[in-house]
């Protein structure tokens, strides 16, 4: 399947906005279910410890690298510009 203009535009914009999101936040705190899933997949027992103040599992904190936001914004902007440069459906060759 070949990517059409609107597919490429959507992918580019989504990557660009995810890049902005990664640049604006320092860390993400996962909920209990996601923390348990990540701990099970990585074999990490640190997320399984009970908190002293709560009867809940400790939540995982994910800190994405700083360069990830810039990389996603760069790739998203290139794909968006590429989609805008492509011909539309109504044009003849």
Query: pLDDT (tens digit, 9 = 90+) per residue, 19-74?
Result: 999 999 999 999 988 888 888 888 865 544 555 555 455 788 889 998 999 999 99
Residue with tokens 């348990």: 36
**Mean pLDDT value of segment 70-87:** 94
Q: Are residues 69 and 79 in the same domain?
A: yes
Which of 76, 3, 64 is CA-nearest to residue 29?
Answer: 64
Q: Are residues 33 and 12 in the same domain?
A: no
Q: Are residues 76 and 56 in the same domain?
A: no
90: pLDDT strictly greater than 60:
no
**3 state SS of 52:** coil
Structurally, the chain folds into a number of domains equal to 2
| C-alpha pair distances (Å), 65 with each of 24, 62, 83 | 12, 10, 28
pLDDT at 47: 45
Q: Are residues 14 and 37 in the same domain?
A: no
Regarding pTM above 0.85, the answer is no
Domain of residue 88 covers 1-26+65-93
Q: Are residues 58 and 36 in the same domain?
A: yes
Q: Are residues 34 and 16 in the same domain?
A: no
């Amino acid at each position: 399947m070949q990517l059409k203009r609107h597919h490429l535009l959507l992918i580019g914009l989504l990557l660009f906005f995810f890049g902005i999101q990664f640049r604006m936040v320092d860390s993400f705190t996962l909920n209990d279910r996601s923390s348990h899933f990540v701990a099970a997949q990585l074999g990490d027992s640190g997320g399984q410890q009970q908190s002293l103040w709560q009867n809940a599992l400790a939540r995982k904190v994910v800190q994405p690298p700083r360069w990830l936001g810039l990389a996603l914004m760069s790739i998203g902007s290139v794909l968006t510009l590429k989609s805008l440069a492509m011909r539309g459906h109504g044009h003849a060759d």
